[in-house]
Structure 1
């Protein structure tokens, strides 16, 4: 994949609010197939587009990159064929399958901007848009929003469409739901909703922190201050783009496996393998599936399976 094609792919992922990790090789000691400047993007299903090393290195990059999508942190990853001690500022992984050289790869998560959906055309609703843009948030009208990927819903209509909007936002799991209203009216609106007490408690009314706000802009600022204090670090995302999430049902797998993180252990080299559409595996006659970090381990296992007893 050319640099231009990779850039276009990254822009497409951003436009569709699909999180990904950008990987760039910053050090390559011979013999390695990668060189400094090589880069790739890793999508949430574990697919790597671009090139940052052979399949052995890719397995490690995939596993580490996917862990960053849940934290939002960046990482300088050092992959070495020989065991090394901890190094300040680096995550060191011993990959016994590497053909020789050491790689250092900078992994940077690229996450969608927090998405705020606003219902209403009041002065406060319009002020919400201005404050959101100043903070670097993405803002949309409620009717155009995908609630599965929305981080916050703010209702500022002075009585119009409040009940259904609040109820739909809560049931969709939107992290922040706010109603711009007086305490008395807000309580009456929330109490009328067909929700449980726990669900009603998730609605902020009046929306915003008590900072003595009076103008529409100050009220909008108070609402965003409350969002910042409560929202998760990693924005919600809809799974869009050409690579949907892996939906393969769990199967019995040889070795130690964590279904929560969808990883397995290569029985030949003991490397952790992230299960993804392009991860190497072998299906045994008895229905078990074995996962591998590289073709060499797969060939070795299939040649001498008796050397690697099932656990």
Structure 2
């Protein structure tokens, strides 16, 4: 199971690790049983019979969409539970039994492709990894399908080829490390070149390679999609809260 999980991480495949943490007979699962749930609903491993597997699969697929983790309780006749972080579902199987399964969503970190091997490119790799990115070198081929960003810091080598591949792939952030004049010249020759940010990075007065890398990572983070804010409590909720 551990080897399979490592391969999935290497392939950047999201999955949910389901681990039985408590089981009451007559359930067939035992504490420590584990399974992997993949985005297509495939389950590898064992966390109980058909009813348990179905409940685990349904909840795991929801978690893959949110990136969260939770504790799932499958028990006869129960529909809800007041404990925070616990989702309770009814076990419809005649065999009965209660099983608690911890569901951990494992989502690949944001992928940053860096093209180049100079000081700025190396600094981008170091700063990017420190910020939690999966940093990978990019040659003249297409970026991986789930790339969050492509940054070209190659001092003129294969720049247009890499930028064109990133544009064709619809990568959300594409940056070119170059002077304003040279950067404008490069992107003007590209179809859709207006999407390329050059000089890449926020204007923070960066001069050294690590500073430039920091400004680029800051720009990537500033442009990433943000979750919608939680709704403000209504009058009823505010009034109820004042009673306590």
1:183 aligns with 2:176: no
What is the TM-score of this pair, normalised by structure 1?
0.66
1:193 aligns with 2:190: yes
Where does residue 153 of structure 2 map in the other structure?
156
- 8 A Cα contact 2:73 2:86, kept in partner: yes
1:22-43 C-alpha deviation (Å, 9 max, x unpaired)? 0111222222111222111112
- 8 A Cα contact 1:154 1:180, kept in partner: yes
Displacement, 1:7? 1.3
Structure-to-structure mapping, 1:18-29, within 5 angstroms: 18-29=13-24
Where does residue 130 of structure 2 map in the other structure?
134
Paired residue for 1:53, among 43, 48, 51? 48
Once residues 89 and 115 of structure 1 are traced to their aligned partners in structure 2, the CA distance between those partners, rounded to angstroms, is 29
Q: Helix, strand or coil: the match of 1:116?
A: strand
Query: Are residues 85 and 68 of structure 1, via their aligned partners in 2, closer, same or farther at CA, if it must alter by over 3 Å?
Result: closer
Displacement, 1:73? 0.9
Where does residue 10 of structure 2 map in the other structure?
15
1:82 aligns with 2:101: no
1:123 aligns with 2:116: no
Once residues 146 and 98 of structure 1 are traced to their aligned partners in structure 2, the CA distance between those partners, rounded to angstroms, is 50
Once residues 92 and 225 of structure 1 are traced to their aligned partners in structure 2, the CA distance between those partners, rounded to angstroms, is 40
Once residues 142 and 224 of structure 2 are traced to their aligned partners in structure 1, the CA distance between those partners, rounded to angstroms, is 18
Q: Helix, strand or coil: the match of 1:159?
A: coil
- 8 A Cα contact 1:80 1:98, kept in partner: no
Where does residue 35 of structure 1 map in the other structure?
30
- 8 A Cα contact 2:142 2:169, kept in partner: no
Where does residue 213 of structure 1 map in the other structure?
206
Where does residue 171 of structure 1 map in the other structure?
168
Where does residue 246 of structure 1 map in the other structure?
none
Provide the aligned C-alpha RMSD in A.
2.1
- 8 A Cα contact 2:142 2:165, kept in partner: no
Where does residue 250 of structure 1 map in the other structure?
none
Once residues 2 and 68 of structure 2 are traced to their aligned partners in structure 1, the CA distance between those partners, rounded to angstroms, is 21
Where does residue 238 of structure 2 map in the other structure?
none
- 8 A Cα contact 1:18 1:112, kept in partner: yes
Query: Are residues 170 and 99 of structure 1, via their aligned partners in 2, closer, same or farther at CA, if it must alter by over 3 Å?
Result: farther
Where does residue 101 of structure 1 map in the other structure?
97
1:185-235 C-alpha deviation (Å, 9 max, x unpaired)? 33332232123xxxx4432222112222110110001111222233458xx
1:225 aligns with 2:218: yes
- 8 A Cα contact 2:179 2:199, kept in partner: yes
Where does residue 92 of structure 1 map in the other structure?
88
More off after superposition, 166-175 vs 144-153:
144-153
